[in-house]
Amino acid sequence: MEVPPLTLAPNEVRAALAARAALEEPTGPEADARRAIYRETNVAEHEATDYPGQAQLRRERLVEALSALVTAAGEDAIPATRHADVERALLALRGELPDDERTDELGGFVRMMDRYSMAAEGRQIAPMFVVRTALAARWNAIHGRPLTEGFEPIELQAYWGWLALHAVNAPAERRFEALEHYAAAGGPRAAEARGVLLFEAGEGEAASEAFVEAFEAAGTFRLRNHAIAAAPE
């Protein structure tokens, strides 16, 4: 039994990318102030040099700076600014920015990629769309926003689906939580994935029930066989 791989509808991915590309980053003193604190936050995260409480104080400053930007430019400033920062981070990740700007844009994200199986031995494994959603979620968290605020359903599938289906080093409870979010976003083969994870966790009866659910939805006899194999004797 293997956890099914993450699959994303290409047309939905293209639509989400097009919607993001149409956003225009706000400019002005409030935007500059927010950006300066954001870059400072990334450097501090990468270098891990904050004294106790310093990171929280900086986060409060960043939250206030984003609030000031929204007051000046409107609520659309949030998705537009998030998209612009994500795009710059992707440039840094691809090595298309000067080395001295890489940390300003990425912070500790490269370490996070390793932690959640998005990269291994310096090589990116996760699809670029998944990496985009992870960067956007990180941006939200840094700015005190809900983790997946502003995500389209396909972005929710990408973010939660990778964590549930591919982040093998993540704690089991974290993967199960992610799987519930993935299923709620319409992610395919969620019941099958739940069956595999439950079986790996030694929960044979619950795994069998999940495989039965998956079989009833897909009609694949392989899933029926998994249900039989997982059921306690």
Q: What is the pTM of this model?
A: 0.93
pLDDT at 214 over 90: no
What's the pLDDT tens digit per position in 29-75?
999 999 999 999 999 999 988 887 898 999 999 999 999 999 999 99
Angstrom distances, CA of residue 205 to CA of 133, 184, 200: 34, 23, 12
4-24 average pLDDT score: 96
So what's the pLDDT on residue 210? 86
pLDDT at 230 over 80: no
| Residues 108, 55 contacting (CB under 8 angstroms) | no
So what's the pLDDT on residue 225? 81
- What φ, ψ does residue 9 adopt, rounded to 5°? -65, 120
pLDDT at 182 over 80: yes
20 pLDDT tier (thresholds 50, 70, 90): very high
Q: Which contiguous run of DSSP H or E holds residue 197?
A: helix 190-200
Q: Which residues lie below 8 Å from residue 7, measured CB to CB, with a gap of 6+? A: 188, 189
What rounded mean pLDDT belongs to the chain? 93
So what's the pLDDT on residue 228? 82
So what's the pLDDT on residue 233? 67
Residue type, 108: G
- Give ∠ CA 40-42-47 in degrees, rounded to 5: 95
Q: Which contiguous run of DSSP H or E holds residue 28?
A: none
So what's the pLDDT on residue 29? 98
| Residues 20, 78 contacting (CB under 8 angstroms) | no
- Give ∠ CA 154-152-29 in degrees, rounded to 5: 135
Residue percentage of the chain with pLDDT more than 70: 100
Q: In terms of pLDDT, which residue wins out, 50 or 152?
A: 152
146-151 average pLDDT score: 97
